[in-house]
Amino acid sequence: MNQKSSRPCPGQPIVVKLGGSLCDHVPDLVRAFLASARPLFIVPGGGMFADAVRKLPLDNDSAHWMAIAAMDQYGWYVASQGIPVTSLLSEPVRPVVFLPYCSVRKHDPLPHSWDVTSDSIAAWIADSLGLDLLLLKSVDGILEDGSLIKQVNLPVRTEVTDPFFIPFVLKKKIKTTIINGSRIERLEKFLIGKTVPGTRIGTTF
């Protein structure tokens, strides 16, 4: 496992979780990904494909694997915009879209529950690779009473991420940032090391 960095580095590889709610923004996001000099390990959410799984009367095991297969489907859509895919869990040297099903099926690292979604899978990937994690959401970050929480150092209740995510990130000391992926200019600035509105999770910043 690679040693985690102590501070942000614009040229360092990073795991980027691309939320399914950003489906309409994928073409613009892909352009920003490809323009970045930073190697990106892009983990797709489940999006509309996982929503279809949620509607079915399934046991936890079936729902878990079907939802991860949904991540592969969304990943192929992202890749169709011009980014190569990989199913290998290895540090990237350029932007790639990770298709997680085979790797997660092999390692089976997380509970089979809707408390675990693609957010927690992305966190497990970041921990496995020893990389920082960026979550692209359709919101600015985690809110409390309508105000953006800039830093999270302890578990908090939120619907922005799944319930398993924040405790796992804090336990594993994964340097994590949540920003609004629909604001392409924020992504572009973040990837070159600039500070943008969002929520940072962890005690290592």
| The CATH fold of domain 14-201 | Carbamate kinase (3.40.1160)
Average pLDDT over residues 40-60: 96
Distance of CA 101 to the CA centre of its chain: 15
- Give yes or no for residue 199 having a pLDDT over 90: yes
Phi, psi of 9, deg, nearest 5: -140, 120
- Give yes or no for residue 10 having a pLDDT over 80: no
Across 65-156, where does the E strand assignment appear? 85-86, 96-98, 132-137, 143-144, 147-148, 151-152
pLDDT in tens, 68-77: 999 999 999 9
Which amino acid appears at position 97 of this protein?
Answer: V
User: Is-above-0.85 flag for pTM?
Assistant: yes
